[in-house]
């Protein structure tokens, strides 16, 4: 069977109608000769294996086989020709579908061609306007001393010790106790005692009942704590249950922060003194602030790009994006032992739709910029980026490259590199105004605005 230069079957003709920007209706006709040819081939194969009493296997007359299997073979032939027409249309008209086509207006007369429509959603065709002179504001990178002090305090907190004190416990103290869970009959089972449990009073992750009942307890005190677990508790065995615990307080500890001196600084990294520690923290904070400024610039450029272009989206494309995000949410919830209700899923779809639309429009616009400007990331550039990532994270380059090539990581790195190069191109053509560090540069450019 010969094919035309476009790769489409010469016995299949297709025309395309665009009733909407992201919807195509393919009007397909399949010549009767092609149907008859494929039906005859199916009939011939069926006759070889058909068994009819009175005839040897494979020797049943075709007329008999057609009378018994003809309807089924005709349906199979039609089912095989529809995908061929679909592929022929894809090749001839260079369509970019976002899903499978729907079959409509099927007509199969006794003679003449087989005719039908294939309705499908396609990616929008974006015509870029001018992408030069996109306005953006770049905040100065400034790290206040207070931010450095905050980091130092977190470091001191992380290296704090607990000093036993002979007094009643108060918020911020660490209480060490033996915990005995209660039974259904109201007794306590000492064989199930959990020794040396430690609670920091007032901690947000504590059950409120423990914070309340253990406050004011000193070593040697015994307290009964009654807890009513919520109906959506991650542990199904505890949902809605009320459980009592007997708590024997063994010790009360007061937090002791290390002194902020050169000895402490040396424990926090490759520095010799407090001045070196502060300089190291400032460098890290400036790097992080620089990343935020770069992200803000990207957000502004994309927002301005969206303002200049109308990007229609096929509904199924948005739906698939939301379902993919919802699947990831379900996976995170499962790791946390939490389930999602249909009502929560519906609310997520509704509230997440504006973000999905904006994200997809942005993705398509950036792709259009790459196509027009010929922005690419060849193997050498990707390899360079892999080596950079390995160096930034202290990985051995060859082993990290091995890991990257073992899955989808190279594809992700290539995509990120392409996106970065696209933003860099837009930035090189943008009109950037430097502004003070405390300026709100996003405003209505924020992703969820």
Predicted confidence (pLDDT) per residue in 297-311, tens digit: 999 999 999 999 999
Domain of residue 376, CATH code: 1.10.3120.10
- Give the pLDDT confidence score for residue 446 in this predicted structure: 62
Residue 305, by phi and psi: left (phi above 0), alpha (psi -120 to 50) or beta?
Answer: alpha
Sorted by sequence, the CB contacts under 8 Å of residue 400 that are 6+ apart come out as 386, 389, 390, 393
Where b means 16+ CB within 10 Å and e means fewer, 230-261 reads: eeeeeeeeeeeeeebbbbbbbbbbeeeeeeee
What distance in Å separates the CA atoms of residue 157 and residue 8, rounded to the nearest whole number? 70
- Give the pLDDT confidence score for residue 236 in this predicted structure: 79
Pair 238, 318 in one domain:
no
Pair 31, 80 in one domain:
yes
- Give the pLDDT confidence score for residue 433 in this predicted structure: 96
Predicted confidence (pLDDT) at residue 415 exceeds the cutoff of 90: yes
Which of the 8 DSSP states describes residue 190?
G
Task: Return the minimum-mean-pLDDT range out of 54-68, 104-118, 251-265.
Answer: 54-68
On the 0-12 / 13-18 / 19+ scale of CB atoms within 10 A, 178 is: middle
- Tell whether 219 is covered by a domain: yes
- Tell whether 152 is covered by a domain: no
Pair 315, 177 in one domain:
no
- Give the pLDDT confidence score for residue 4 in this predicted structure: 43
Mean pLDDT calculated for residue range 313-339: 90
115 forms beta bridges with 29, 107
Predicted confidence (pLDDT) at residue 447 exceeds the cutoff of 80: no
What are the percentages of helix, strand and coil residues in the chain, rounded to 5?
Answer: 50, 20, 30
- Tell whether 128 is covered by a domain: no
Mean pLDDT calculated for residue range 412-416: 94
Query: Which has more pLDDT, 320 or 45?
Result: 320
- Tell whether 84 is covered by a domain: yes
Predicted confidence (pLDDT) at residue 64 exceeds the cutoff of 90: no
- Give the pLDDT confidence score for residue 6 in this predicted structure: 45
Sorted by sequence, the CB contacts under 8 Å of residue 376 that are 6+ apart come out as 370, 418
Can you tell me whether residue 202 is helix, strand or coil?
Answer: coil
Starting at the edge strand found earlier in the chain, the sheet holding 23-30 runs 12-20, 23-30, 114-121, 102-107
Can you tell me whether residue 221 is helix, strand or coil?
Answer: coil
Is the Cα torsion angle 50, 55, 56, 62 positive or negative in sign? Answer: negative
What distance in Å separates the CA atoms of residue 177 and residue 195, rounded to the nearest whole number? 7
Is the Cα torsion angle 430, 436, 437, 442 positive or negative in sign? Answer: negative
Q: How confident is the model at residue 57 (pLDDT cuts 50, 70, 90)?
A: low
And the tokens for 270? Answer: 């490759």
103 forms beta bridges with 118
Pair 228, 335 in one domain:
no
Pair 234, 334 in one domain:
no
And the tokens for 166? Answer: 């002979």
CB-CB contact of 386 with 401 (8 Å): yes
And the tokens for 151? Answer: 């980091």
Pair 248, 277 in one domain:
no
Domain of residue 91, CATH code: 3.30.70.1050
Closest CA relative to residue 136, chosen from 436, 430, 444: 430
CB-CB contact of 375 with 418 (8 Å): yes
- Tell whether 154 is covered by a domain: no
Pair 433, 367 in one domain:
yes
CB-CB contact of 255 with 172 (8 Å): yes
Pair 235, 288 in one domain:
no
Predicted confidence (pLDDT) per residue in 335-357, tens digit: 877 778 889 999 999 999 999 99
What distance in Å separates the CA atoms of residue 194 and residue 178, rounded to the nearest whole number? 6
Pair 88, 191 in one domain:
no
Predicted confidence (pLDDT) at residue 383 exceeds the cutoff of 50: yes
- Give the pLDDT confidence score for residue 51 in this predicted structure: 61
Query: Within 309-436, where are the H helices?
Result: 315-335, 342-373, 379-393, 397-405, 409-429
Domain of residue 246, CATH code: 3.10.50.40
Where b means 16+ CB within 10 Å and e means fewer, 354-385 reads: eebbbbbbbebbbbbbbeeeebebeeeebeeb
Average pLDDT, the chain: 89
Within a 13 Å sphere around the CA of 203, how many CA atoms are in the beta-carbon half?
Answer: 12
The residue out of 231, 256, 281 marking a domain boundary is: 256
Predicted confidence (pLDDT) at residue 324 exceeds the cutoff of 70: yes
And the tokens for 110? Answer: 């006794």
- Tell whether 352 is covered by a domain: yes
Within a 13 Å sphere around the CA of 393, how many CA atoms are in the beta-carbon half?
Answer: 11
Q: How confident is the model at residue 448 (pLDDT cuts 50, 70, 90)?
A: low
Pair 215, 332 in one domain:
no
Closest CA relative to residue 114, chosen from 40, 47, 38: 38
What distance in Å separates the CA atoms of residue 200 and residue 285, rounded to the nearest whole number? 30
Domain count, the chain: 3
Predicted confidence (pLDDT) per residue in 71-106, tens digit: 888 889 999 999 999 999 999 999 999 989 999 999
Pair 252, 282 in one domain:
no
Predicted confidence (pLDDT) per residue in 168-187, tens digit: 999 999 999 999 988 888 88
Q: How confident is the model at residue 56 (pLDDT cuts 50, 70, 90)?
A: low
- Tell whether 6 is covered by a domain: no
Mean pLDDT calculated for residue range 223-241: 84
Q: How confident is the model at residue 241 (pLDDT cuts 50, 70, 90)?
A: confident
Predicted confidence (pLDDT) per residue in 204-215, tens digit: 888 889 999 999
% of the chain with per-residue pLDDT over 70: 93
- Give the pLDDT confidence score for residue 2 in this predicted structure: 32
Q: How confident is the model at residue 368 (pLDDT cuts 50, 70, 90)?
A: very high
- Tell whether 1 is covered by a domain: no
And the tokens for 68? Answer: 């018994």
Pair 108, 197 in one domain:
no
Can you list the positions of beta strands (E) in 31-73? none
Sorted by sequence, the CB contacts under 8 Å of residue 211 that are 6+ apart come out as 171, 201, 202, 203
Q: Which domain holds residue 107?
A: 12-121
Query: Which has more pLDDT, 56 or 187?
Result: 187
Sorted by sequence, the CB contacts under 8 Å of residue 146 that are 6+ apart come out as none
Predicted confidence (pLDDT) at residue 161 exceeds the cutoff of 80: yes
CB-CB contact of 271 with 262 (8 Å): no
Q: How confident is the model at residue 233 (pLDDT cuts 50, 70, 90)?
A: confident
């Amino acid at each position: 069977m010969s094919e035309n230069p476009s790769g489409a079957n010469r016995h299949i003709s297709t025309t395309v109608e665009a009733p909407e920007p992201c919807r195509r209706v393919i009007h397909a006709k399949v010549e009767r000769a092609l149907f008859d040819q494929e039906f005859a081939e199916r009939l011939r194969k069926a006759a070889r294996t058909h068994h009819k009493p009175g005839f040897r296997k494979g020797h049943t007359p075709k007329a008999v086989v057609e009378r018994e299997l003809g309807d089924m073979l005709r349906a199979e032939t039609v089912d095989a020709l529809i995908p061929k027409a679909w592929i022929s249309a894809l090749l001839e008209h260079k369509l970019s579908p976002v899903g499978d086509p729907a079959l409509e207006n099927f007509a199969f007369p006794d003679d003449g061609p087989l005719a039908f429509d294939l309705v499908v959603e396609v990616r929008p065709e974006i015509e870029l306007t001018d992408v030069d002179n996109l306005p953006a504001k770049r905040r100065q990178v400034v790290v206040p001393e207070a931010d450095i002090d905050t980091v130092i305090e977190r470091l001191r907190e992380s290296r704090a010790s607990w000093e036993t004190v002979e007094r009643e416990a108060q918020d911020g103290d660490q209480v060490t106790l033996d915990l005995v869970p209660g039974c259904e009959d109201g007794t306590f089972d000492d064989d199930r005692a959990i020794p040396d449990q430690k609670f920091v009073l007032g901690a947000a992750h504590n059950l409120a009942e423990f914070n309340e009942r253990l406050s004011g307890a000193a070593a040697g005190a015994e307290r009964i704590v009654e807890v009513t677990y919520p109906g959506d508790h991650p542990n199904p065995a505890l949902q809605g249950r009320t459980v009592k615990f007997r708590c024997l307080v063994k010790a009360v500890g007061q937090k002791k922060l290390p002194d902020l001196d050169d000895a402490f600084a040396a424990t926090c990294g490759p520095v010799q003194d407090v001045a070196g520690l502060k300089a190291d923290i400032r460098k890290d904070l400036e790097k992080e602030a620089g990343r935020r400024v770069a992200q803000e610039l990207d957000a502004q450029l994309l927002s301005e790009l969206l303002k200049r272009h109308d990007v229609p989206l096929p509904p199924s494309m948005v739906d698939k994006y939301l379902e993919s995000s919802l699947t990831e949410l379900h996976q995170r919830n499962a790791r946390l032992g939490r389930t999602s209700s249909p009502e929560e899923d519906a609310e997520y779809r509704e509230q997440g739709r504006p973000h999905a639309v904006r994200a997809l429009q942005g993705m398509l616009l950036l792709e259009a910029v790459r196509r027009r400007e010929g922005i690419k990331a060849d193997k050498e550039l990707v390899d360079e980026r892999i080596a950079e990532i390995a160096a930034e994270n202290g990985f051995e380059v060859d082993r990290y490259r091995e890991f990257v090539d073992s899955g989808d990581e190279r594809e992700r790195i290539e995509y990120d590199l392409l996106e970065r190069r696209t933003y860099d191109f837009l930035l090189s053509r943008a009109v950037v105004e430097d502004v003070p560090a405390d300026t709100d540069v996003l405003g209505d450019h924020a992703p969820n605005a």
